[in-house]
């Protein structure tokens, strides 16, 4: 929800900061790596039970996560490789953070509760996959109540007030499942309407090529049969 509605506004606000960082010579990839290191620190802090420190590290993790794209654009190095690295780093960061929460719950609560952040992580991966696959097929799957920015905010709230961490995680899981359902329905409706997408054009082209090859083979076989009949 926030990613879709406020992303452009945030990007415009970060553009001057991206230009300033570009002049220091730091690259977008380095900033992404710094974010991964901070996420690792947050995960370890949470796992060891230092939830307030984990909250602080989580907030700091969001800074390089927001700035790497601005630096790439300011330096003119935005590329498919950078976008791929950033996406992989986002998934790794999510896994580290929720892994840290699972570690903490395994140490302090009933053993089965540790599966709660694991379930959230699995649902988050599903939400991400839905968007990636939909865009590959030419559809739009953005939006939903619990995108990545919302997960960060809700998790930060749970870490800041550790007494309600488990209820906050249950809420996050419910909203994440709802978001996965939202995206599924959104893409399903688009796919149910006959329209020309890049994926459909490629599929139609492949079918046409297979038909042309089959026709050529049949014509060659017919030519050979006629030639054999004349020799007799």
Instruction: Please tell me which residue in 3, 90, 94, 196 is annotated as part of the active site.
Output: 90
Closest to 78 in 3D by CA, of 18, 158, 127, 17 = 18
SS3 109: coil
User: How far is CA 162 from each of CA 31, 101, 188, rounded to the nearest angstrom?
Assistant: 29, 11, 39
Contact 79, 32 (CB under 8 A): no
Residue of 92, 70, 93, 97 lying closest to 82 (CA atoms)? 70
Within 10 angstroms of residue 38's Cβ, the number of other Cβ atoms is 21
DSSP H helices, the chain, are 2-24, 28-47, 51-75, 80-108, 115-136, 148-160, 165-192, 198-231
Q: CA-to-CA distance for 221 and 223, rounded, in angstroms?
A: 5
Residue 136 CA to residue 147 CA, distance in Å, equals 19
Round to the nearest angstrom and report the end-to-end CA distance of the chain: 76
Lookup result for tokens 């939006």: 143
The answer to whether residue 90 is catalytic is: yes
Please give the positions annotated as active site: 90
């Amino acid at each position: 929800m926030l990613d879709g509605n406020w992303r452009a506004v945030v990007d415009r606000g970060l553009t001057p900061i991206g230009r300033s960082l570009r002049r220091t010579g730091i690259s977008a990839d380095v900033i992404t790596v710094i974010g991964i290191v901070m996420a690792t620190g947050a995960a370890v802090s949470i796992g060891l039970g230092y939830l307030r420190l984990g909250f602080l590290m989580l907030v700091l993790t969001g800074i390089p996560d927001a700035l790497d794209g601005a630096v790439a654009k300011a330096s003119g190095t935005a590329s498919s490789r950078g976008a791929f690295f950033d996406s992989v780093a986002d998934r790794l960061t999510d896994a580290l953070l929720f892994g840290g929460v699972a570690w903490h719950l395994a140490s302090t609560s009933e053993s089965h509760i540790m599966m709660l952040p694991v379930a959230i992580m699995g649902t988050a991966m599903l939400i991400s996959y839905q968007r990636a696959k939909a865009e590959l097929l030419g559809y739009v799957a953005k939006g939903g109540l619990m995108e990545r920015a919302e997960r960060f905010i809700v998790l930060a709230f749970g870490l800041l007030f550790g007494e309600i961490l488990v209820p906050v995680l249950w809420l996050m899981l419910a909203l994440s499942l709802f978001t996965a359902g939202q995206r599924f329905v959104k893409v399903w409706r688009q796919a149910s309407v006959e329209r020309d997408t890049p994926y459909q054009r490629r599929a139609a082209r492949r079918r046409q090529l297979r038909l042309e090859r089959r026709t050529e083979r049949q014509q060659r076989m017919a030519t050979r049969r006629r030639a054999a009949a004349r020799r007799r």
